[in-house]
């Protein structure tokens, strides 16, 4: 029986999707173990495949995470995609190729931040979810500057973006792809209108609802998932509505929530895709 390591981070019940995926892998005829990515006691070479899922603590130590990922010769998604997608500087790369993104500027260590004259967001270029991110009013530059300085002090690059007001009305639109095919869509309610210490796992789940994707949003996602991003085991494309049309918020190719609990059949499709990689 083929063996699959499902990579996660430390903690209890980290990802509500995990039981669904493990059960689906068993139905697909695979032996699967949930393994903490930085657990030195795990014999990774005893597995036929490592699937990255809920490794959500990697962002403060991305280089360590990349070193671990590079050492896994049988990894999904593959290492080059992991390296690319774990640093949101990729947004500048995509914008240069003509992809419509949420207007984004980067503030590197030693640089002075320049804030827009509208509500805006400050967040790390390497980060997960809304962790270490915050929203500021147009005149809250002093508080925002302190946020930037704190991230710089930790050696982290910073992203500054205007706050997309439609998020308060409609949320972000997240499109989940499995084995290169569109699976289902979710509406992600606003996260940054609540204090950071209130954004626990329950709050984040309560912000999620099933959604119906629009043809224009799906077309943008499909425009992105080509070349080396085509036919990935999984992908999530997060977009927001703007007056000019849909704009990319994030291209999640490493450890995105796939919201399998909202679309249980997706767990079996994901498991079949994993089994297909091993056949």
**Do 225 and 237 touch, CB atoms closer than 8 A?**
yes
**Count of structural domains within the chain:** 3
Helices (H), the chain: 18-27, 62-70, 79-85, 90-96, 141-153, 166-170, 201-206, 215-224, 265-278
CA distance 73 to 69: 8
Looking at the structure, do residues 155 and 195 belong to the same domain, yes or no? no
What pLDDT digit, counting tens, does each position of 11-46 carry?
Answer: 998 999 999 999 999 999 999 999 999 999 999 999
* H helix runs in 154-278, sequence order: 166-170, 201-206, 215-224, 265-278
Judge whether 99 lies within some domain.
Answer: no
**Same-domain pairing of 81 and 34:** yes
Q: Helix, strand or coil for residue 77?
A: coil
pLDDT at 207: 61
Tokens at residue 135, please? 């929203």
User: First and final CA of the chain: distance in angstroms?
Assistant: 11
Distance CA(221)–CA(218), nearest Å, equals 5
Inside any domain, residue 199 = yes
DSSP state of 101: B
Q: Is the pLDDT of residue 198 over 60?
A: no
pLDDT digits (tens, 9 = 90+) for 109-156: 999 999 999 999 999 999 877 788 999 999 999 999 999 999 999 999
The pLDDT assigned to 202 comes to 40
Whether residue 136 is contained in a domain is answered as yes
pLDDT tens sequence across 52-79:
999 999 999 999 999 999 999 999 999 9
| Domain hosting residue 29, numbered range | 3-87
């Amino acid at each position: 029986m083929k063996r699959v390591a499902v990579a996660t981070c430390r903690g209890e019940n980290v990802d509500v999707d995990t039981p669904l995926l493990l059960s689906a892998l068993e139905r697909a005829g695979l032996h699967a173990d949930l393994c903490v990515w930085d657990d030195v006691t795990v014999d990774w070479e005893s597995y036929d495949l490592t699937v990255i899922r809920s490794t959500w603590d990697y962002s403060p130590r991305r280089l360590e995470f990349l070193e671990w990922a590079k050492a896994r010769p049988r990894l999904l998604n593959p290492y080059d995609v992991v390296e690319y997608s774990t640093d949101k500087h990729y947004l500048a790369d995509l914008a240069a190729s003509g992809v419509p993104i949420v207007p984004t500027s980067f503030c590197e260590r030693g640089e002075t931040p320049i804030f827009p004259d509208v509500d805006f967001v400050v967040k790390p270029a390497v980060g997960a979810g809304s962790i270490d991110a915050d929203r500021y009013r147009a005149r809250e530059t002093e508080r925002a500057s302190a946020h930037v300085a704190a991230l710089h002090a930790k050696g982290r690059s910073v992203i500054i973006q205007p706050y997309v007001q439609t998020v308060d009305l409609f949320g972000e639109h997240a499109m989940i792809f499995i084995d290169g095919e569109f699976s289902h869509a979710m509406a992600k309610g606003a996260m940054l209108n609540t204090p950071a210490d209130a954004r626990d796992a329950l709050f984040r789940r309560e912000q999620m609802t099933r959604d119906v994707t629009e043809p224009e949003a799906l077309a943008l996602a499909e425009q992105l998932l080509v070349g080396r991003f085509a036919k990935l085991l999984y992908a999530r494309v997060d977009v927001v509505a703007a007056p000019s049309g849909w704009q990319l918020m994030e291209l999640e190719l490493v450890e995105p929530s796939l919201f399998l609990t909202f679309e249980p059949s997706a767990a079996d499709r994901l498991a079949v895709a994993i089994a297909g990689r091993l056949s």
